[in-house]
Structure 1
Amino acid sequence: MKFASFVHMRLADYINDLLYRYDCVIVPNFGGFVTNKIGAKVDENANAIYPPKKQVTFNAYLQHNDGLLANYIASTEKISFEKATEKIAEEVDTWKNQLETGTITVAKVGTLTRNEERKLLFEPNTSTNFLIDSFGLAQAGATSVEREDAQVAEVVVLDEKKEGKVIPLVVKRAAAAAVAVGIIYAGWSGVQNHNEQQEFLANQQKEIQAATFVIDSPLPTIDLKVSKEEPKNFHIVAGAFQEVENAHNKVNELKEQGFDAKIIGENSFGLTQVVYGSYHTKESARTALLKIKEDVSEEAWLLEK
């Protein structure tokens, strides 16, 4: 019971910690906290610049246990995955009771309440930035700059080609002369480079035509026989994830445990499925499933696909 009260106080902190590392943290049988990256923005009215951040939302339909939260609590508290799952369930019951009469504050993530229709409403804590890349960056002040149209400079140029006459030529931008000179120089340089390239290619062509290649003993042909491997249609599912990044993290975690884990695509709900491994026959898959249920997780199940 002592541990139960400890989890009661810290479950919100565990969710808070995981949101810095993952885009989605699901609380089984309660809902999921999902983050979306938004870029830096400028508030012209407040003359302020805001750094990039992760915006947190809550999805009450994400209730399937993907194992992320339970694994984190289990590794932190040095307990089993099943024990961590049990303690999360106890905390969820406490949260649901509290929501009947009041508000829940989830660490620095935000607050949860119920409206008159008994639906969960989430108000994110806008002062918290879960984007690690923006660590240390804060709101900055900005000063508006008003641009004035540059005055057109008029320059009088004397045309010396016509004797006895002075013809004023108006150059609207002094920079135009520099641009014109640059274009002329670039054009001449391009012509030179083109001529040099043509000469180089001609010399190379002569050398290639003069060369003779003789193969005295060609390599023998090799016949490769490729056997068709039977498909692995039986999979042991470890979890289904809304965020692809979480699915890849689960694959890496299972591979570190020695499993031939991989992603096998999306299910009918649009969630990315991760499996412990895939097998040729149902018998071999069932044997592996029993061992995984006994040693790793009771949540594993067999999928024929």
Structure 2
Amino acid sequence: MQLTTYIADLLYRYECVIIPGFGAFLTRYKSAHIDDATNTFNPPSKIVSFNKQLQANDGLFANYVASVEKCSYETALQQIRKFTAEISTALSEGKTISFKNIGDFSLNEEKSLQFEPFHQQNFSTSAFGLASFVSPKISREVYKETVEALEDKAPIIFTPKRKEAKPYLKYAAIAVIALSAIGFGSLKLYENQVQQFNYAERQKANSLVENQIQEATFVIENPLPVLSLQLPKHTGMYHIVAGAYREEANADKKMQQLRDKGFLPLKMEPTRYGLHQVLYASFADRLEAQQKLHEIQRTENADAWLLVQDIQ
């Protein structure tokens, strides 16, 4: 099933991948750890789980299928609906469905959906190229006993020997300290004089500028009227997409339709597959974007979907 490969691709980049009408795959980060029982070092990873309650289409999976297959968004949705129908039929017949590199699905005796992930697959890009390895346990007590035995056989005794300082070295040290103190005092005196001079000059400059500002008079005749502009702002990572069009003329037509309805739409730059996407609005908060998406799907466009992308 080719669509399972697309799901695996998305799990490397997103924490939630929803399969409309079936459920959602969720990933959770797990830091590197050591298995004390087997002395195995494991790299950072993403743990995959499944939630059957999340079935609402957020557009991520369908848009990715349309981009890879180079087809329309509606065609991609049809492929996904057919895919989920085949899975549901096979599960109802008692079969186990395997998603390559992701996990297995089956029904238990109570006809509840069960998911068993493949623990060998790591979807964390930060751990690319890293693999688990086993290292033998280090026995530190052996070395400790060996060192203690050597110390008992050959103890090491340090006998300090006091050396008599030569008289002329003492006087030379005193002379060096005296010269350093004189030089340091001279340096501090010079720095204080420089700071006082700079402060006096700065005060003169400030006084001169204040006098010039007080004497200046500004008269503006025929001032320009104040303009109030309202421009559409599309910022944030979450965007509600009204549609993706192969022909730019169709995208422009959709833009005009949305303007007539009171929206402030935005036409994005063509994707690498030549699709022109038209946006309803953009949000910085994912929850706010989901709420607006559900409102638009209920009242305006049932096929609207959510795009997660930085467009700045």
Normalised by the size of structure 1, how large is the TM-score? 0.59
- Residues 225-253 of structure 1 show CA distances to partners (whole Å, capped at 9, x for unaligned) of 79697999xxxx828xxxxxxxxxxxxx9
- The within-5 A match list for 1:65-214 is 65-100=57-92, 101-147=94-140, 155-157=158-160, 202-203=192-193, 205-211=195-201, 212-213=204-205, 214=208
Higher mean C-alpha deviation, range 212-221 or range 35-44? 212-221
User: Cα distance 1:47–1:229, how it changes in 2: closer, same or farther (>3 A)?
Assistant: same
Long gaps (5+) in structure 2: 165-183, 234-238, 242-265, 270-276, 307-312
User: Cα distance 1:275–1:254, how it changes in 2: closer, same or farther (>3 A)?
Assistant: farther
- Residues 53-75 of structure 1 show CA distances to partners (whole Å, capped at 9, x for unaligned) of 11111111110101111111112
Alpha-carbon contact 2:282-2:289 (below 8 Å) kept: no
| Aligned twin of 1:299 | 304
More helix by share: 2
Aligned pair partner of 1:11 in 3, 27, 46:
3
User: Cα distance 1:217–1:75, how it changes in 2: closer, same or farther (>3 A)?
Assistant: same
| Aligned twin of 1:265 | 285
User: Cα distance 1:254–1:125, how it changes in 2: closer, same or farther (>3 A)?
Assistant: farther
Q: Radius of gyration: which is bigger? A: 2
Alpha-carbon contact 2:57-2:305 (below 8 Å) kept: no
Alpha-carbon contact 2:16-2:24 (below 8 Å) kept: yes
- Residues 273-292 of structure 1 show CA distances to partners (whole Å, capped at 9, x for unaligned) of 3869xxxxxxxx9xxx97xx
| Aligned twin of 2:212 | 217
Residue 139 of structure 1 and its aligned partner are, at CA, apart by 1.1
Q: Secondary structure at 1:76's aligned position in 2?
A: helix
Long gaps (5+) in structure 1: 1-8, 162-193, 240-252, 277-284
Q: Secondary structure at 1:217's aligned position in 2?
A: helix
Aligned-residue sequence identity (percent) comes to 32
Q: Secondary structure at 2:195's aligned position in 1?
A: helix
- Residues 132-154 of structure 1 show CA distances to partners (whole Å, capped at 9, x for unaligned) of 22222111222333446687976
| Aligned twin of 1:50 | 42
The residue type paired with residue 58 of structure 2 is D
The residue type paired with residue 109 of structure 1 is I
- Residues 75-122 of structure 1 show CA distances to partners (whole Å, capped at 9, x for unaligned) of 222221111112211211111111121211011101111222322211
For residues 12 and 82 of structure 2, what CA distance do their matches in structure 1 show?
A: 25
Q: Secondary structure at 1:14's aligned position in 2?
A: helix
Alpha-carbon contact 2:240-2:279 (below 8 Å) kept: no
- The within-5 A match list for 1:16-31 is 16-31=8-23
Alpha-carbon contact 1:263-1:273 (below 8 Å) kept: no
